[in-house]
Amino acid sequence: MSAISTDGMDKWLDDAYPDLDRRKANMIYEISSLINDDPLSAPVLIEELVDIMFDEQIDHLEDVIVNHFGVEVYGEETVELLSQQ
């Protein structure tokens, strides 16, 4: 647990963005539908999303990929695939 309480900040964010959870759910639905309808759009969509991320967001995404899916982001296989392109 953090030494600094974030309860106040969380409440402030909830008040400032009351529909954030709904917007997240809608975005997940829209992205999933797009990829389901047109699987070839996935790489383009992912590239666009990653392009607008900050360093910390990319670090978090790398952690999710490694920890949840067991894929090493810059592992030997990834490097091999990139060098073949």
pLDDT for the residue numbered 69: 80
pLDDT grade for 9, boundaries at 50, 70 and 90: low
Asked whether 15 and 29 are in contact (CB, 8 A), the reply is no
Residue 60 has pLDDT above 60, yes or no: yes
Could you tell me if 76 and 57 lie in one domain?
yes
Average of per-residue pLDDT across 49-74: 87
Could you tell me if 41 and 3 lie in one domain?
yes
pLDDT for the residue numbered 76: 55
Could you tell me if 58 and 71 lie in one domain?
yes
Please give the residue range of the domain that contains residue 71: 53-85
Residue 57 has pLDDT above 70, yes or no: yes
Quick: pLDDT tens for 30-47: 999 999 999 999 999 999
Count of domains in the chain? 2
How far does CA 47 lie from the centroid of its chain? 11
Could you tell me if 59 and 85 lie in one domain?
yes
Given its phi and psi angles, is residue 70 left (phi above 0), alpha (psi -120 to 50 degrees) or beta? Answer: left
Could you tell me if 44 and 6 lie in one domain?
yes
